[in-house]
Amino acid sequence: MAIARTGVYVDDYLEYASTFPAELQRLLNTVRELDERSQSLINQTRQQTKYCLGLASKKGSGNNNHYNTGLDDDETIDKMRKEIESSQENALSLCTEKVLLARQAYDLIDSHLKRLDEDLNNFSEDLKQGIDHLNPQIIAKTVHCRGVPLYF
């Protein structure tokens, strides 16, 4: 009886797990895309910060000819500061989304592991209960055909 149900456990789990790789791949690809976008924003913010600090240091030294933006330096610095803050908020938002997607991937893996553990425990119990009623040679041959040697 237990050996006959082996196919049921395997078939049920294979059907349950059939969408697992695709869903996990989708989540991980989305995390990768968000990571690339957030890194781009972070790099952009670094460049903007260097430029803004350069303006501030040139302003302090009295040499305003190097940066000719058409705006006075205070307006340029304020504009750059707002752009930097906006970029940082966007990067933080992307990073928060990455964390949420990573949590979804973890939960997906965890649910599949729990299901597999439950199925293995049920199968083990079926084997323990049915072992007295079956011919040991049939069990040994059947389990050995699946690549797992069983000795009595």
Q: How far is CA 150 from the centre of its chain?
A: 38
State how far the Cα of 111 lies from the Cα of 13, in Å rounded to an integer.
12
Q: How far apart are CA 20 and CA 41, in angstroms?
A: 32
- Do 123 and 5 touch, CB atoms closer than 8 A? yes
**Calpha distance 13→11 (Å, rounded):** 5
Where do the structural domains in the chain lie, given as residue ranges?
A: 21-60+76-111
| Cα radius of gyration rounded to whole Å, the chain | 31
Q: Is 79 helix (H, G, I), strand (E, B) or coil?
A: helix
User: What is the residue-level pLDDT of the chain in tens, covering all 152 positions?
Assistant: 445 566 677 777 778 778 888 999 999 999 999 999 999 999 999 999 998 888 877 776 655 444 455 457 788 888 999 999 999 999 999 999 999 999 999 999 999 899 888 888 888 887 787 765 555 555 555 544 455 554 44
pTM of the model: 0.65
End-to-end CA distance of the chain: 18
